[in-house]
Chains A and B, each alone.
Chain A
């Protein structure tokens, strides 16, 4: 059975026909072509697929596309505005918060939500918030530095 859903992704309205069991990640990646959102573990552990739904980070590999009907979604493609990187994106480059980059979309989206909610987090708060995002390359030290570094930058992006 298919359904028609309407969702706002990165400020743009979309109407999509999806089967009931279509996952949000597949809807974003394949129906809308937004392949910035990555699939790692497929079971909601690694955080690579994190997107914001109405401002809150969720695992798009666990959410049905139907669940996003009428919702506002922000993916990694929606962070930079008019070619200007969000401060979190800029800080991840400047502080070496990324290597292979596969976890990075989920990382920057999750970190963005953190700073929206808590503009000046402590290291422990960063760890608590980010523990659902796995990175195998960096050992996380530079991810923490990136997020701390971002707090010192102008918000940029939006």
Chain B
């Protein structure tokens, strides 16, 4: 079935933040730093203020001296005394139209005094590196437990299983490999937008492309010093998120401009600003040390994962202010002795944030590449070497539960079977690669309010905006299924103001936590409906049943429709309503596996890679919405292809050089490979009706599968993504040069 907001989206009626038009609305634009690290000596805004149509020009001195962030508050709304990356906001202008605002920016005169800068995370960890945030430890919500004495490291998280020294003592062979992946933009087509309008009574209305509106209200309250109760976040459609739309971005500036001018203010980032100062996937380096026995059993895995946070940690939402995917550095292999160290490091680059399966892709590229390298070195078959080491029921995963219902072998077998893995190699320069990953389902808090309306429909209120994943459709289906009602009798609507806290959309959480909360609320609402119905029918509660959309008295066959029950109300007056909150801090012991096989061909003349066939196999539970489920697989897969072959936010000395979507290539419709999806189904999932997560599965192993296939095709091992035609070309030149 199609999604519930489909008609609004195909007709242009669906409203996104940038579509909000208010009477008297004006526009804000920011001036950004051209330097990666500098003291601000002075800012002269006088000329800009005099320009026609300019209504306000603000700098940090006009704002409260406060910092903000998704968890740790380390980022100023406008640079305070110092800039730390090229693209940092220094001043903001409000004008009658965006062109006027843009013109005025050029008239603002900022005097800087350059400071030594550091761009590479490893360089930033050296003792002589300039410190970006000497006061890091004093920042609000900075996680003390993860502080480090290494320069610029703002979070050091360790995951351990067993005893790593003991593990390496058991090993016959020890392998060391290092891999690197670049910054990658989420590539949502809707740039960040914010609108703020202040009512005459002081109430602050906010429209924002943010997937966690309840959290956004809380963060905004802190940074604009207005109580949460005085802020209303109006939910708009979100032109995709992929992890990147969880921050306040320009909303605090819109507020300050609105307050100064008395007018509603809109700010929409250009795509150039998105690429220069969004919150891309972390550039990552992964060092792996692997201990293997003579029989090819992995007994020890040490990993050092270094994430370049950029100039601020403000875009990291998790309590340890680091990247969760690092914990998968042992992959899908049962390894008794593991030690993983993840370092998040400040450097003078664009601040990094979350992007679909944050950290998972980077680490999986390393782990799955190393599996092929180790197998080859040991003279083992790369498929058999994996199978020999796969996770089993009862194994622990770092930072996760003791697993049950492990179905990794079945998943890989299904992928292999659907591919040409077992066929003889057809032609030169063609190769096959495979990679396997897993992802635990997300936890967090979800809320809902269900009301039986007077027209007999069920209103489902959720504070989760629709970011494109089909969350609202899934919630509607779960409620309808639980109440035995047709879909059109269940209406999903958004509301943020009636909920205090909520985790929003992310971490493959919505179907699991959000689904459970609506399912439970629907069950409770049904009890209220039956009680009210029984009262209306003049009988006892245990004498009525819900049948064919009506409350039926079994004996007399007297019945009431839901509309009639609604009119009777709970106690004769009030609506039948259930408000419910569910906070799951611990995930279930069931994870989900993905296995992919890629077949490709390398053109030795140009280095161009052509994907001939991709098989993606998924270990799934009950599929609640097949169309949406498959859409998640396909969309994620192509992002994985982008990560493997095309995408890189290129930076030179902190300056992003791919500053528009012509230079920053996203895969287009001609880049899609022939795709076979295999679903290894079993009704075992932890989500309602035994569903499992899918949103962050297919994106993860693609990069590694491609790298392994390239090696199979032409014998060149890439330790860095993306594997562009240019890189392949030069590597082949060197390769043949070396041999010849």
Q: Which residues of the other chain, A, contact B237 by a CB distance below 8 angstroms?
A: 100-102
Contact indicator B16/A137 (Cβ below 8 Å): no
Establish whether residues A140 and B638, one from each chain, have CB atoms under 8 Å apart when the complex forms.
yes
Closest to B8 in A: A101
Considering the chains assembled together, what is the distance between the CA atoms of A102 and B274 in angstroms?
A: 16
Neighbouring B residues of A133 by C-beta, 8 Å:
669
Contact B634 A136 (CB under 8 A): no
**Majority SS at the chain A contact face:** loop
Of chain B, the residue at the smallest CB distance from A138 is B635
Closest to B187 in A: A136
Interface residues in B, total, Cβ within 8 A: 58
In-complex Cβ contact of B240 among A46, A92, A131, A137 (8 A): A137
Contacts of B189 in A (CB 8 A): 38, 40-41, 46, 48, 100, 102-103, 134-136
Closest CB of chain A to B42's CB: distance in Å?
32
A143 touches B662 (CB 8 A): no
The answer to the question of B540 belonging to the interface, with a C-beta cut-off of 8 Å to chain A, is no
Decide if A42 is an interface residue (CB 8 Å cutoff): yes
Asked whether, in the complex, the Cβ of A105 is within 8 Å of the Cβ of B12, the reply is: yes
Q: Which of B172-180, B339-347, B625-633 contacts A (4 or more CB under 8 A)?
A: B625-633
A14 adjacent to chain B (CB < 8 Å): no
Give the CA-CA distance A143 to B3 in the complex, in Å: 15
Say whether B468 contacts A34, CB under 8 Å: no
Which B residue sits closest to A30, measured CB to CB?
B21
A87 to B75, CA, bound (A): 48
* Chain A-chain B contacts (Cβ-Cβ < 8 Å), number: 176
Rounded to whole angstroms, the CA-CA distance of A140 and B189 in the bound complex is: 14
B14 at the interface (CB under 8 A from A): yes
- Bound-state CA distance A89–B635 (Å) is 20
Judging by beta carbons under 8 Å apart, are B11 and A79 in contact?
yes
- Asked whether, in the complex, the Cβ of B666 is within 8 Å of the Cβ of A134, the reply is yes
- Assess the A143–B669 pair: CB atoms within 8 A: yes
In the complex, which residue of chain B has the Cβ closest to the Cβ of A96? B627
B189 CB to closest chain A CB (Å) equals 4
Does the CB pair B661–A137 fall under 8 Å?
A: no
Given A134-B661, A139-B634, A141-B672: A100 in contact with B468 (beta carbons within 8 A): yes
Q: Contact at A137–B631, with CB atoms within 8 Å?
A: yes
Segment 33-86 of A: residues with Cβ below 8 Å from B: 33-43, 45-46, 48, 75-77, 79-80, 85
Minimal beta-carbon separation of B79 from chain A (angstroms):
25
Q: Which B residues between 608 and 640 are near A, CB-CB below 8 angstroms?
A: 627-628, 630-631, 634-639
Whether A33 and B16, one on each chain, are in contact in the complex, defined by CB atoms closer than 8 angstroms, is no
Closest-CB distance, A26 to chain B (whole angstroms): 8
Between A40, A94, A139, A144, the greatest number of chain B beta carbons within 10 A of the residue's beta carbon is seen for A139
- A130 close to chain B: CB less than 8 A: yes
Return the CB mask of B632-655 against A: 1 if under 8 Å, else 0: 001111110000000000000000
Chain A residues with Cβ below 8 Å from B2 are 93-94, 96
Q: How far is the CA of A130 from the CA of B242 in the complex (A)?
A: 23
Closest partner residue, chain B, to A107 (CB atom):
B10
Q: Which residues of B contact A77 (CB under 8 A)?
A: 11-13
CA distance A76 to B9 in the complex (A): 10
For the complex, what is the distance from the CA of A112 to the CA of B660, rounded to whole Å? 27
* Cβ–Cβ contact B631 & A45, under 8 A: no
- Is B469 a contact of A99 with CB atoms below 8 Å? yes
Given the known inter-chain contacts A131-B668, A144-B669, please indicate yes or no for A99 contacting B635, CB distance below 8 A. yes
B326 CB–A CB distance under 8 Å: no
Residues in chain B near residue A79, CB distance under 8 A: 10-11
CB A151 to nearest CB in B, in angstroms, measures 17
Interfacial chain A residues near B268, Cβ < 8 Å: 39
**Shortest Cβ distance from B643 into chain A, in angstroms?**
13
Q: Which residues of B sit under 8 angstroms from A43, Cβ to Cβ?
A: 271, 660-662
Complex: A94 Cα to B6 Cα, angstroms? 9
A21 at the interface (CB under 8 A from B): yes
In the complex the two chains form, what is the Cα distance from A134 to B668 in whole Å?
6
Bound Cα distance from A96 to B469, whole angstroms: 11
Enumerate B655-706 residues with CB–CB distance to A below 8 Å: 660-662, 666, 668-670, 672, 675
Tell me whether A104 is interfacial, beta carbon within 8 Å.
Answer: yes
A89-B99 Cα distance, complex, nearest whole Å:
34
Q: Is B603 an interface residue (CB 8 A)?
A: no
A22 CB to closest chain B CB (Å) equals 9
B14's partner among A75, A80, A85, A101 (CB-CB below 8 A) is A101
Tell me the complex Cα distance, A137–B3, Å.
14
Q: A43-B660, A96-B631 are in contact. List 9 more A-B contacts (CB 8 A).
A: A38-B18, A39-B268, A41-B661, A77-B12, A96-B2, A102-B188, A128-B670, A136-B635, A140-B668
**A residues neighboring B (CB under 8 Å):** 19, 21, 29-30, 33-43, 45-46, 48, 75-77, 79-80, 85, 89-90, 92-96, 98-105, 108, 126-128, 130-131, 133-144
Can you offer 29 A-B residue contacts whose CB atoms are under 8 A? Answer: A21-B99, A35-B12, A39-B18, A40-B189, A40-B191, A40-B271, A42-B270, A43-B660, A45-B660, A76-B10, A76-B11, A77-B11, A90-B10, A92-B6, A92-B10, A96-B631, A98-B10, A99-B469, A100-B237, A100-B468, A101-B9, A102-B189, A102-B468, A104-B9, A127-B670, A136-B189, A137-B468, A140-B672, A143-B669
